[in-house]
Amino acid sequence: MTQGIRIGELARRSGLTPDVLRVWERRFGLFSPERTPGGYRLYTPDDERLAHEVVALKARGLLLAAAVEQARASVESTRQATADADGPLPDALAAEIDAAVRVLDQSATTAAVARTIEVLGPEAAMVEVLLPYLVRLGRQWENGEVTVAHEHFASHIIRRHIGAQGAELNPTGRRTAIVACPPGERHDIGALMAAVALSRKGWSVRFLGADTPIAAIDAIASTLRTDVVVLGGTRRTVFEAVVPLVQRLRSVTHVAIGGAGANAEVAKALGATLLPLDPVSAVAVLDGAVEDAYATA
């Protein structure tokens, strides 16, 4: 028997109750869960996608029966597209997001981003699709293929979905981190991805977002005795502007920098650890840095 999702977990993930899931199964045949030897239902990732699709469609005003029918069609279409896709699956998922963003289709973009996270999992979705797509979208804007409106539109949807991946995680991990962007840096999706990846690895994370004064970060780091402060920036200048303040911060905690604006020269000037762009690899670097700090303490 394949591994599956128990009904209580599916209820938690979808925001429904086990009773509602059972009703949808009986009334519409929406799910076909396997059963454990003890009689417990085991649901598949497709079942989870169906539940999310129905919830989203009902929120848009569809009646339940219509929402179920449309959700079935959407999930089947995605399954077929995945089976028929030429080339790697991440490329197909990125192409689906791109097509929806280019016509500013809110529902299609939301569904495409959600499917990417569901199919690949949050970490692979960030590394293989979402972060590379945002870089690609920025280049499209620079080349005049899309407008700044398209970039803001896509960023808002992706940011909301990535943020949701860390919304219910345990805030009491053994290691603690503050993740923020320095003053003047307003693009915080990369930092948010790092915060979510840290949380999913068991870190206790305070995400402060864009344009955060270093003095405020220093005060929080001192109060919480934070293991590391992660600063994310898309421009080198936002790091260069805070060199003296970050050097003071280093007397309180370890500091790491990441993002397109971070490089080895800036990291050396700050006395900070340089992180890779990939948020999952960045977590591995931070795990090692904190372990080394514990070993020498």
Nearest to 138 by CA among 175, 104, 101: 101
187 in the same domain as 131: no
What was the pLDDT predicted at 78?
61
204 in the same domain as 262: yes
Instruction: Kindly state the tokens that stand for 215.
Output: 């003095």
37 in the same domain as 4: yes
66 in the same domain as 1: yes
Q: Hey, CA dihedral for 288, 221, 124, 101, is it positive or negative?
A: negative
Least confident of 11-25, 46-60, 140-154: 46-60
The domain that contains 100 carries what CATH number? Answer: 1.10.1240.10
224 in the same domain as 279: yes
Please report whether residue 170 resides in a domain: no
161 in the same domain as 225: no
292 in the same domain as 181: yes
Q: In sequence order, what DSSP letters do the residues of 216-245 get, joined into one string?
A: HHHHHHHHHT-SEEEEE-SSHHHHHTTHHH
- Indicate the pLDDT class of residue 2, thresholds 50, 70 and 90: very low
Can you tell me the distance from the alpha carbon of 184 to that of 235, in angstroms, rounded to the nearest whole number? Answer: 9
What was the pLDDT predicted at 291?
67
Can you tell me the distance from the alpha carbon of 254 to that of 256, in angstroms, rounded to the nearest whole number? Answer: 7
Average pLDDT score over residue span 279-295: 76
Least confident of 31-45, 222-236, 257-271: 31-45
Residue 240 has pLDDT above 90, yes or no: yes
98 in the same domain as 75: no
Least confident of 54-63, 173-182, 205-214, 263-272: 54-63
Select the more confidently predicted residue: 82 or 116. Answer: 116
- Indicate the pLDDT class of residue 297, thresholds 50, 70 and 90: very low
pLDDT in tens, 209-234: 999 999 999 999 999 899 999 999 99
186 in the same domain as 133: no
Q: Which helix (H) or strand (E) holds 178?
A: strand 176-180
Please report whether residue 10 resides in a domain: yes
The domain that contains 80 carries what CATH number? Answer: 1.10.1660.10
Instruction: Kindly state the tokens that stand for 5.
Output: 């999702």
Can you tell me the distance from the alpha carbon of 50 to that of 270, in angstroms, rounded to the nearest whole number? Answer: 48
242 in the same domain as 268: yes
Residue 172 has pLDDT above 70, yes or no: no
Please report whether residue 197 resides in a domain: yes
The domain that contains 232 carries what CATH number? Answer: 3.40.50.280
Contacts of 99 (CB under 8 A, 6+ apart): 108
What was the pLDDT predicted at 1?
38
* 52 burial type by CB count under 10 A (0-12 exposed, 13-18 middle, 19+ buried): buried
Domain final residue pick, 37, 53, 84: 84
pLDDT in tens, 5-38: 889 888 877 778 999 999 999 999 999 888 888 8
Instruction: Kindly state the tokens that stand for 145.
Output: 């293929």
Give the range of the structural domain holding residue 127, as residue numbers without chain letter: 86-165
Residue 279 has pLDDT above 80, yes or no: yes
160 in the same domain as 237: no
What was the pLDDT predicted at 61?
80
Please report whether residue 285 resides in a domain: yes
- Specify the residue for token string 């925001």: 15
Average pLDDT score over residue span 139-154: 92
What was the pLDDT predicted at 230?
97
CA distances from 200 to 121, 151, 172 (A): 11, 27, 12
Q: How many domains does the chain have?
A: 3
pLDDT in tens, 63-107: 999 989 988 887 776 666 555 555 568 888 999 999 999 999 999
Residue 296 has pLDDT above 70, yes or no: no
